[in-house]
Amino acid sequence: MVRTSNMLRIVSLCMVLLLGSEICIAARQELIVTTIKQDPYTMSKGSQLEGYCMDLLAELAKKLGFRYKVHLVKDGAYGRQDEGGNWNGMIGEVVRGEADLAMAPLTLTAAREKAVGMTKPYMQTGISILLRKDIVSEEAGFFDFLSPFSGETWFGILIAYFVTAVCICIVGRSEKGGEHIEQEPLLMLLSPCEWSQPETEPNRFTLLHSLWYAAGALSLQGAGPHPKAVSGRVISCTWWLFAVVLLACYFSSLSSSQGSDSAPLMIKGFEDLANQDVIEYGTLAGSSTLAFFKNSNNPSYRRIYEHMERRKSFVSSMDEGVQKAKEGNYAFIGESVSLDLAVARHCELVRAHEVIGMRGYSIVTPLGSPMLKNLSVAILQLSEAGELAYLRTKWWASSCIPDSAKGSSLRVHSIKGMFLVLAIGLGIGVLLSLFELTSKSRSTAGEQKKSCCAVLTQELSQRLRMTKTKGDQET
């Protein structure tokens, strides 16, 4: 009697637990989990398995308190229903009771939902295109001609241009002389070799002409008149050297960037893919991606499916699709998250921006399993805690150095030597003009029997003063 009472208590307890939790099942036996090898979801590491799905399974087991044992699916398939209604792959093992869970990148579909239980998605994905970078070109922008230099380099060139023009103006500026000299404000040049008699001699280098002169050197056209003084010629030669090296760097970078974008095709999405017949394309045989195109009413998607059926351009595995894309002249259509991983591991590949047919990856349980609800809740809790995002970052880390084909803009530090040479040339030119002015002042002081400092001060005051009246000139 006592034994019968204890049995009834155990049965009652298990019935309660079956209604609200999977603990009774976990306590009764280890959960059999089926999976499939696919980088980075499940990979071999010695005798163990590792990857995104294995880490997620461990987190779920810790949160829900169950034990598990993992084995690889026998037929190496995800799960497809044949004409007789039978399922193969991981879905088939769960349907036949050979496994309690299927932990893999299994897409949530209506057909699978009818046969098995599927949790809330633990990862969102879609359908996109994987192909080599060098067989497609991107759309050219209106300002792509500025791409050889970075924004800070262009800003530095602009500053150098204005500073050089101002230095040329100071050393060799010309304004109207003669009768206008008494009425107009002056900013006279330093070098007496360029402008020996500022009171009476007209000269040529205005600020506007200096800007025009510097711009002429940048375009390799030249603009006269040229400076006569040594100081002005030093500045001019330095600017010419700067312009030649700058233009050489610009055209070299421009030609290399144009060469990398010289491919005849521009594929940004599935519409472009369907409208060309140069690149072959295909997807995984028997996959949900293929079913999407097969069942779609979109004319472009139907053409893509008919093309793949006609050419039999399917692949048997994800790795085969990636390898064919790497070999060139083949576009692999697949799950966007899997393609992102291929791009992270194979630097010569790129994924198209367009993503269609958004769906999710779910964990599979037997139909009506009491574990389904708890697994879904646990997945949502891990997502809210940021654990899923962390796992995605951990296993999708890129090993590629950032591509420099499009982003090869030269920065200031790359051509800093050019700016240094220009700065030294400008400094030497200004110092030479001061030396020339000092020499003239000493000569004038000897002729006029005056102090050299007094004559130099008078010269500088005369040349750098912003206003000048006739009375001052007479004095």
Please state the residue numbers annotated as binding site: 105, 107, 112, 288-289, 335
CB-CB contact of 337 with 360 (8 Å): no
Q: What is the dihedral of CA 196, 202, 205, 206, to 10 degrees?
A: 130
- Alpha carbon 144 to its chain centroid, in Å, reads 16
Distance CA 178, CA 40 (A): 84
Distances (CA, A) of 286 to 18, 265, 277, 335: 36, 29, 23, 14
Distance CA 227, CA 176 (A): 17
Annotated binding site for L-glutamate: 105, 107, 112, 288-289, 335
**C-alpha distance across the termini of the chain, in Å:** 136
Distance CA 381, CA 158 (A): 55
Helix, strand, or coil here: 268?
coil
Please, what is the angle between helix 288-295 and helix 299-311, to 10°? 120
Helix, strand, or coil here: 126?
strand
DSSP 305-372: HHHHHHHT--BSSHHHHHHHHHHSSEEEEEEHHHHHHHHHH-TTEEE-S--EEEEEEEEEE-TT-THH
